[in-house]
Structure 1
Amino acid sequence: RWRDKDTELQYVRNYKPKRHDVKHLRMLVHGPVGAGKSSFINSVDSVLRGRIAGRALAAAEVTTSFTKQYKTYKIPKGQPGEFYPFVLNDTMGLEMNEDRGVHAEDIKLALKGHVTDGYPFNPASKLSSDSLYYNAEPTKNDKVHVLVCVVPADKVALMTKDDVRKMTDIRETASELGIPQLAVITKIDLACPEIHKDLKNVYKSKYLKDKKFSDFAGIPMNCIFPVKNYSEEINIKNEVDSLILSVLRRIIDFGEDFISDMET
Structure 2
Amino acid sequence: MGGKHSKSKESPFFSKPWREINWRDRQSALQYVKDYRPQTDGQQLRILLHGPVGAGKSSFINSVQSALHDRMYAQALVDNTSHNCFTKRYTTYKIRKEKTGTFYPFVFNDIMGLDPDKGIPVSDVKLALKGHVKEDYRFNPESALSEDDQFYNKQPTNNDKVHVLVCVINANTLSQMSEKTVEKIRDIRIEARKLRIPQVAILTKIDEVHPEIKENIQNVYTVKCLKEKMELFSATVGIPMNCIFPVKNYESEIDLNSDVDALILSAMKHIINFGDDYINFNNDQSEG
Normalising by structure 2, we get a TM-score of 0.88
Deviation at 1:61, TM superposition (A): 4.5
Separation (CA, whole Å) in 2 of partners of 1:64 and 1:216: 25
Q: CA RMSD in A?
A: 1.1
Give matches, 1:169-188, under 5 Å: 169-188=187-206
Counterpart of 2:84 in 1: which secondary structure?
coil
User: Is the counterpart of residue 96 in structure 1 residue 96 in structure 2?
Assistant: no
Match of 2:13 in 1: none
Rg larger for:
2
Per the alignment, residue 2 of structure 1 pairs with 21
Q: Is residue 247 from structure 1 mapped to residue 259 from structure 2 by the alignment?
A: no
Residue 168 of structure 1: which of 158, 164, 186 is its match? 186
- Shift in Å at residue 116 of structure 1? 1.0
Find 1:193's aligned residue among 200, 211, 229. Answer: 211
Contact 1:34 1:93 in 2 (8 A): yes
Alignment of 1:11 onto 2:32: yes
Could you say which residue in structure 1 is the equivalent of 2:76? 56
Residue 116 of structure 1: aligned partner: 134
Amino acid corresponding to residue 178 of structure 1 in structure 2: R
1:51-110 deviation digits (Å, cap 9, x = unpaired): 00001001125321010001000001123531100000000000011xx10111001000
Structure 1 residues 129-183: Cα deviation after superposition (integer angstroms, max 9, x where no partner): 1111111001110000000000001111223543311011000000000000010
Letter in 1 for 2:236: F
- Aligned partners of 1:129 and 1:136 also within 8 Å: yes
Q: Check if 1:154 corresponds to 2:175.
A: no
Q: Would you say the 8 A contact 1:161–1:216 is kept in 2?
A: no
Q: 2:240 aligns with which of 213, 220, 224?
A: 220
**Counterparts in 2 of 1:206 and 1:160: CA distance versus 1, 3 Å:** farther
Give, as a single letter, the amino acid of the residue that structure 2 aligns with 1:2: I
Q: State percent identity of aligned pairs.
A: 52
Q: How many angstroms apart in 2 are the aligned matches of 1:150 and 1:259?
A: 22
Q: Check whether the contact 1:33–1:62 (CA below 8 A) recurs between aligned residues.
A: no
Candidates 220, 227, 231, aligned match of 1:209: 227
In 1, Cα distance between equivalents of 2:92 and 2:103: 13
Q: String of CA shifts for 1:9-55, please: whole Å, max 9, x gaps.
A: 111111001123x5210000000000000000000111111100001
Secondary structure class of the residue paired with 2:181: coil
Q: Take 1:134 and 1:62, find their aligned partners in 2: how far apart are those partners?
A: 30
Q: 1:124 to 1:160 in 2, by over 3 A?
A: closer
Q: Show the 5 A alignment for 1:66-145.
A: 66-79=86-99, 81-97=101-117, 100-145=118-163
- Answering whether residue 66 of structure 2 is matched by residue 46 of structure 1, we say yes
For 1:155, give the aligned amino acid. Answer: T
Partner of 1:203, secondary structure, is: coil
* SS, match of residue 183 in structure 1: strand
Once residues 201 and 61 of structure 1 are traced to their aligned partners in structure 2, the CA distance between those partners, rounded to angstroms, is 30
Paired residues of 1:151 and 1:186 also in contact (CA < 8 A): yes
Q: Could you tell me which residue of structure 1 aligns to residue 10 of structure 2?
A: none
Return the letter of the residue paired with 2:223.
S
Structure 2 regions of 5+ residues with no counterpart? 1-19
Give the letter for the 2:132 counterpart.
Answer: H
Q: Say whether the 8 Å CA contact 1:34–1:61 is kept in structure 2.
A: no
Report deviation, 1:194: 1.2
Contact 1:148 1:183 in 2 (8 A): yes
Instruction: Name which of structure 1's ranges 161-170 and 23-32 shifts more when overlaid on structure 2.
Output: 161-170
Q: For the residues of structure 1 that align with 2:21 and 2:265, how far apart are their CA atoms? A: 11
* 2:124 counterpart SS class: helix
SS in structure 2 opposite 1:165?
helix
Distance in 1 (CA, whole Å) between partners of 2:62 and 2:163 is: 20
- Structure 1 runs of 4+ with >4 Å offset: none
